[in-house]
Structure 1
Amino acid sequence: MKAYSKTQLEKKAEKHFKTFHEDSKAYATSDGYFFRSENRAGLHAKTKKTLVVYIFERKTEASQIDTGEAYKTVKDIEELVAQTEDAATLEELLIAEQEGSNRKTAIAAIQARIDELKQK
């Protein structure tokens, strides 16, 4: 029996979510099987005592933002901010900027867009 790491299963979870569009969560066992129900994953894991059940959540727009290399400059961040309509996504970007480069101009641009969206 092949055992999969959580990282390997994460990649397989992306395929699961593409197939099952309505699922917000997926349950995987360390032997590589995916289930749409936590109960079913647990039952499968009980059949083989060494299995672990992992829970994966569908990535939202907010969690899909690449806050690293893709946005090196403040101009890149300003362009992203102008295109983003979700305040939660922007709040995640704001936290990443504050914890990372902490550039005042970028933080101001993100915060201004958050304020603008909240006034709508």
Structure 2
Amino acid sequence: MELLGFIFQDHQFLPNVRIGDQLKLVTKLKGEKDKAQHQAEVRSITEHLGIETSYAKYPRQTSGGGKQRAAVAHAFIGNPQLILADKPTASLDPDRDHEIAQLICKVAKSTNKSAIMVTHHRSILP
């Protein structure tokens, strides 16, 4: 179990690696699991966040909101106790920023984790 998960202002994905492969890499780096377990963990979190279609795409093929949702998945993989979110909605339109903030809250509550979010948009806070 990890202590911290991070969600950055910019998604920080490698441009020439599929999103699903990047998420699988995180699971490999965070534990002693076999390939099937890595795949299952990534599939589970992408389904939970509604980004299954982003799994096989490159970041450039995904919307800004899709990339930020993938960044949320990235942060929650490895089961961290605390999520730190640095203005995770700064580059999104007003509808998407509220959606991402609510998503972080929803996932934190459903996984019994804590999240700290820095934002300039008070309207997105629950």
Pair in the same fold by TM > 0.5: no
Q: Please state which structure has a larger fraction of its residues in helix.
A: 1
User: Which bin holds the TM-score, normalised by the shorter protein?
Assistant: 0.3 to 0.5
Higher-RCO chain (CA-CA 8 Å, sequence separation at least 6)? 2
How high is the TM-score relative to the length of structure 1?
0.32
How high is the TM-score relative to the length of structure 2?
0.31
